[in-house]
Amino acid sequence: MVIIKTKEEIEKMVLAGKILADVHHKLRDFIKPGVKTIEIDKFVDDYLISRGATAEEKGYEGYPYSVCTSVNDEVCHGFPSERVLKEGDILNVDLVVNYKGWLADSGWSYEVGEVSDEAKRLLQVTKECMYKGIELAQIGNRLGDIGYAIQEHAEKNGYSVVREFVGHGIGREMHEDPQVLHYGKPGHGLRIREGMVFTIEPMINQGKKEIYIDKNGWTAKTKDGSLSAQYEHQLAITKDGPIIITDQGDC
Ligand code: MF3
Ligand code: CO
């Protein structure tokens, strides 16, 4: 069941979203060669506490950390660890902020130092995929319109769309209905209505779409070892179009 949100509820999520956008801005300076991914976890935790917020991922279905840090061939749910980031890595940091009971979810990809042209292109196209989806998040459109636009853009560029993880409704709970697939057919799927709040978070692989789950039980990786990228925003559907709850202003 899709839980429709009021204007007031959306405003509460926007407050959580502002904190989350600020975290991502700070991470842009923090992430560089030599940093361990566990240090990102601590940095985010400390920052959220300073803002009166908490990291909702910690303990979610047993997830052990405050953030997901997915490097190179890791698709999502990478565990922060003693792994040292090195020049040329690409990294996604995904986290969910809880501020006064309302949630904001956004994952952003980062370049560590100077990265290859191929990596840059993957990041660019993945970001474009997300924004193409966001443009179509309009009252009266269908979720299949979003999925189709994302898939088309990814595949046109020689990439593939991961199927196992999808966008989702969100509010007081991290995962609500509907599921928002990043592939699909135009004119199919649920019709988009005012007051829906959901994420669009395509995971795009440089190679084939197949993934496997690491022995830690969480981390998804590309089967062929190719790079994977992801961008995620959370949106509220209004008469004037989508509000990007986790907007970061200049990126
Ligand atoms: N932020 C992720 C999402 O987009 C959730 C990660 S699952 C968790 O849905 F266990 F790490 F929280
Ligand atoms: Co999400």
Domain ranges of the chain: 7-244
The span from the CA of 30 to the CA of 38, in Å, is 12
Verify whether ligand 1 is closer than 6 Å to residue 96 (CB atom). Answer: yes
175 SS3 class: coil
What's the pTM value of the predicted model, to 2 decimals? 0.98
Verify whether ligand 1 is closer than 6 Å to residue 61 (CB atom). Answer: yes
Verify whether ligand 1 is closer than 6 Å to residue 142 (CB atom). Answer: no
Radius of gyration of the chain measured on its C-alpha atoms: 17
pLDDT at 111: 98
Neighbour-count burial for 72-105, b at 16+ CB within 10 Å, e otherwise: bbbbbbbbbeebebeeebbbbbbbbbbbeebbbb
* Residue to substitute in 24, 65, 68 for testing ligand 1 pocket (most ligand atoms within 8 angstroms of CB): 68
Atom of ligand 1 nearest to the CA of 57: 12
Nearest alpha carbon, ligand 1 atom 11: 57
The reply to whether CATH 3.90.230.10 applies to domain 7-244 is yes
Verify whether ligand 1 is closer than 6 Å to residue 68 (CB atom). Answer: yes
- Give residues with Cβ within 8 angstroms of 151, minimum separation 6: 161, 182, 183, 184
Verify whether ligand 1 is closer than 6 Å to residue 209 (CB atom). Answer: no
* Residue to substitute in 24, 44, 96, 235 for testing ligand 1 pocket (most ligand atoms within 8 angstroms of CB): 96
Task: Return the structure tokens found at 50.
Answer: 């300073």
Where in the chain does DSSP place strands (E)?
Answer: 54-55, 68-71, 74-76, 90-99, 102-111, 160-161, 167-169, 176-180, 197-200, 203-205, 211-213, 220-222, 228-230, 233-238, 241-244
Per-residue pLDDT of the chain (251 residues; tens, 9 = 90+): 999 999 999 999 999 999 999 999 999 999 999 999 999 999 999 999 999 999 999 999 999 999 999 999 999 999 999 999 999 999 999 999 999 999 999 999 999 999 999 999 999 999 999 999 999 999 999 999 999 999 999 999 999 999 999 999 999 999 999 999 999 999 999 999 999 999 999 999 999 999 999 999 999 999 999 999 999 999 999 999 999 999 988 65
The span from the CA of 157 to the CA of 10, in Å, is 35
Angle in degrees, 0-180, between the axes of helices 37-50 and 7-30, rounded to the nearest 10: 140
Ligand 2 centroid, distance to 181 Cα (angstroms): 12
The span from the CA of 230 to the CA of 41, in Å, is 18
Verify whether ligand 1 is closer than 6 Å to residue 220 (CB atom). Answer: no
Angle at the Cα of 77 (from 118 to 16), degrees rounded to 5?
100
- Residue 7 burial (CB count, 10 A): 10
pLDDT at 251: 55
Atom of ligand 1 nearest to the CA of 77: 11
